[in-house]
Structure formats: C-alpha cells, structure tokens
Amino acid sequence: MTSSPDRRCQKPLSDRGPAWSAAFFLPALLWLAGMSPGPAQTLPDFATYHFTVVQTKTLPGASAAPGTACNGTIGTADRIENLAVAAVFYQNGCYTDGRYNHHDYPVDRGTVSASGGGPSLAAYRIHEPRKKASQFLASKHAIFYRFPTVEKYTVYSFAGGSLSKVADVPAAAIVNTIDFIPVTAAAPITVSETEGSITYVFAPSTARISSYAPLGPGVEGARVASTPFGDVLKYRYTVAGTPFDTALDFSAGPGTHANIYSDRRRFFLVRNGDAGPGVIWQDQTDSSLKLT
C-alpha cells in the first residue's frame, strides 16, 4: 500500500457504546437485631467471578477485516479458539504493516465462573499491544468472534470480580458457526487503544449472569457484608417503570442547595406484612407512585 492516511482528519471514536444498566431497583437494607419481628432473614453471599487461563497466544494483527471495506481474510495467526483480531478501514485503506496500526496483541483464553457455582463462560483477556504504530494509529483492530451456536448472545466485560454487559448479538447476525463476525456495541469493539488489559466474556443470552441469588420472579438478592450489628442485604427488583437514578437524574452542582443541605428522599422503605421488605417510589416518567 503506497498511500498514507491524513492524520489531520482523525476523530476520536468510542470503542464501545454506552455502558449497559438494567432497569433494576437497588435498595440496600441493613438489618439490625430487633429491627423487625420474627426470625432474621438470610440471603446467600454475594457471588464474585474469577478468571481461569487455559491458553496464551500473541496475535500479530496482520489480518484485514473481512467484508466490503477491507475485503480481507482473518489468518490463523490472528485467531485464538473462537476470538480473532483484524484491522478495520480507515480513510483510504486497512493498514496492517505496522506504520499506521498497532500490532502484537497478547491474549489469554480461559473461562470465567462464579464463586457460588454455575456455568463456566468463554472469556478472553486482551492485553495492550506490544508494538505501536511507527507513524501514527490509523487502522484500529476490532475483535471478531466465531459463535458456537446460532442464538442470541450477550458480551460482558470482566473486572474486579464482576461482569458488566457490553453488547447483545442477535441470533440473526450469526449466519453460521464457522465464520468470524465483528462484535459491535453501537460501533465495532476495538482493542488498539487498550491500556493494560480488558477481558470479554461471551455467553448465550439465556444464561443467567448475576452475582445475586434469584429470590422470586423479578427479584434477586445477596448478603453483601456482615457487620457486628447484623448483615447488609441487597435486593434488586425488576420493575415496570422508571425509578429515580442517582447517576442520571441528580444533576445538582457542588454549590447548589441540594448538595449543601442534602436532597429529598426518593425511596421509602416499608415492611409489607409477611411479604417482607418493600419500597414506595415515584415513576420519573409519569410521576405515579408505586409500591414494589
């Protein structure tokens, strides 16, 4: 390839789409001795996930992405089991010779499983590329995956013992179990600008992935801590509506009244007879009051 990309036209792109957050209601309840009548309630401990390495391989990144833009082929050297990396199109080409692309990606293949048991999930820890572009980074390397079954999959990131949803891959996007297809979350997931490492986990969407134990339809929970005064129990409820979300709905600045003198309560904990703990909350969409 003789042409060079114009560095002045580079625009920062997000490698991944916005972080996924479920419509869960998250009241954490501290149960103290004598706080409620009857025997103390117990829940299973919060489950953490751990990664077990099975194989390590360095992918050179010499492959250009398949498809109309690059019309490339993913070589065997750029594959490790069902994961592969390949350069994607930038301006006028798909760069793989090291001038305008990073290369040599160490990858650990393994499984991720929960401390409390459950299925072992396919996982790949992709490290920061060992060799950086000799000129500047133009073509980035995206991840491709060969899905073992034709069904809807969910891709998670793994860090600190927890899994966070990154993207869904619909069954319609998985043509067969032979070809590698790009993994996208609004845009193709790229790893060229990874610092340190990042771990991706692939699981059928039907698999239940949670650090909390199922307690009933739409309800899960776990003991997240144990103190001299009692256990800290956390419940997660799937609700029909939009509860107040502190991260999204609280926009008060440091100097405002709400931050200096606190803000009004958004949730009111109640005990619903023998049914256990409940919460009164207001739907942020239509202002209706609800009891969960």
77-108 pLDDT, tens digit each:
999 999 999 999 999 999 999 999 999 999 99
- C-beta of residue 236 within 8 angstroms of C-beta of residue 222: no
pLDDT at 276 exceeding the cut of 80: no
Span 153-179, mean pLDDT? 95
DSSP 121-177: EEEEEEEPPSB--SS---SPEEEEE--SSSS-EEEEEEETTEEEEEEEE-GGG---S
Span 23-45, mean pLDDT? 52
- CA dist., res. 239 & res. 28, Å (int): 16
| Per-residue pLDDT, 6 | 55
Which letter does DSSP use for residue 19 in this model? Answer: P
> Percentage of the chain with pLDDT > 70?
86
Q: Which residue has the higher pLDDT, 187 or 153?
A: 153
Residue 128: is it exposed, middle or buried by C-beta count within 10 angstroms (0-12/13-18/19+)?
Answer: middle
List the domain boundaries for the chain: 16-46+212-291, 49-204
Span 157-170, mean pLDDT? 94
- The residue type found at 113 is S
CB proximity list for 184: less than 8 A, separation 6 or greater? 167, 169
| Per-residue pLDDT, 29 | 42
Q: What's this model's pTM, rounded to 2 decimal places?
A: 0.77
> Percentage of the chain with pLDDT > 90?
66
Span 111-123, mean pLDDT? 91
225-262 pLDDT, tens digit each:
999 999 999 988 889 999 998 888 888 888 888 888 88
Span 190-202, mean pLDDT? 97
CB proximity list for 47: less than 8 A, separation 6 or greater? 114, 115, 116, 118, 210, 211, 212, 213, 222
| Per-residue pLDDT, 30 | 40
